[in-house]
Structure formats: C-alpha cells, structure tokens
Amino acid sequence: MTDTISDYLTRVRNAIKANHRIVEIPASNLKKEITKILFEKGYILNYKFEDNNTQGTIKIALKYHPVTKQSAIKNLERISSPGLRQYAGSREIPRVLNGLGIAILSTSKGVMTDKEAKTQKVGGEVLCYVY
C-alpha cells in the first residue's frame, strides 16, 4: 500500500456510510496524530490505540447525532497524495468552508490544524480537509 492516509480516510468514510459505530484501522504515528486532532475538534466520539506485537490498531468510535443519526463528519477529502504533494506556506494555508471545517497539515512542528499552523506561523503539507 502506497498511500496509508488515503486508506485511513476511506475506511472512516465507508464506516460512516454503513452507519458503523466503531472502525478499526492499522496504526502508524501519523494516523495516531490525525485521530487525536479529530477527537479534539469533536469529529469523533472516542479512540483507542491497541498495540500488539506487529503494527497495532486504532479503534475509532464514530460520532452521530442522537435524533437524526447523521455523522459529525460530513466529508473527508484527501488533498496531498504521494504522486502530487500539496504544500502551503504559513500565509497560503487554505480555509475550509470559510473556517467551519479544518485542514490537517503535517509541519516541521508536528501534525496540526490550519488554525494552529497560522498562529504558530508555520507551513507544511496539506494532508486533508475535514468538515
């Protein structure tokens, strides 16, 4: 597999469309950081890192509205791919839905959202949009 972040986003997207409560994803450090950001911003209900002898897994509890059963995540969009990397400087960081969504960036100071990157005045690779 060449694009593990795209696989991560696709697994979450498919689980939402199938109305699953929990999705299991093979773990990596970058995926763990993206999961922490999604939890901090309120897009997922909870997460758990399980470490076995080989790679480990991430269990994500998806968040749904109690009455309408709609997911908190409307769309996950991969921006930078292995074939075409998308970089943004600190002044060119994109706004997602006029600030209603988040862009997740991989910077020299770690994985962070677009707002955090703007306040720290650091640019990086735009991984994905979440809204």
Every domain of the chain and the residues it spans: 4-62, 76-130
Give 102-116 pLDDT, tens digit per residue: 999 999 999 999 999
Beta strands in the chain (DSSP E): 22-26, 44-50, 57-62, 76-78, 87-88, 102-107, 110-113, 124-130
- At residue 8, does pLDDT exceed 90? yes
pLDDT of amino acid 104: 97
User: Do strands 124-130 and 76-78 pair parallel, antiparallel, or not at all (unpaired)?
Assistant: antiparallel
Of 25, 3, 2, which Cα lies nearest the Cα of 14?
25
CA distances from 49 to 2, 52, 54, 86 (A): 22, 10, 13, 29
* Chain mean pLDDT for the chain: 95
Runs of H (alpha helix) within 18-131: 29-40, 114-119
User: Cβ(81)–Cβ(4) under 8 Å?
Assistant: no
Cβ-proximal residues to 65 (8 Å cutoff; 6+ apart), any chain: 71, 72
- At residue 1, does pLDDT exceed 80? no
Per CATH, the number for 76-130 is 3.30.1490.10
Distance CA 114, CA 122 (A): 10
Sign of CA dihedral 39, 44, 48, 50: negative
pLDDT of amino acid 55: 86
Whole-model pTM: value is 0.93
- At residue 38, does pLDDT exceed 80? yes
Give 19-36 pLDDT, tens digit per residue: 999 999 999 999 999 999
Question: How many other CB atoms are there within 10 angstroms of residue 51's CB atom?
Answer: 9
Mean predicted confidence (pLDDT) in 58-84 = 95
pLDDT band at 2 (very low <50, low <70, confident <90, very high): confident
Q: Which fold has domain 4-62?
A: Ribosomal Protein S8; Chain: A, domain 1 (3.30.1370)
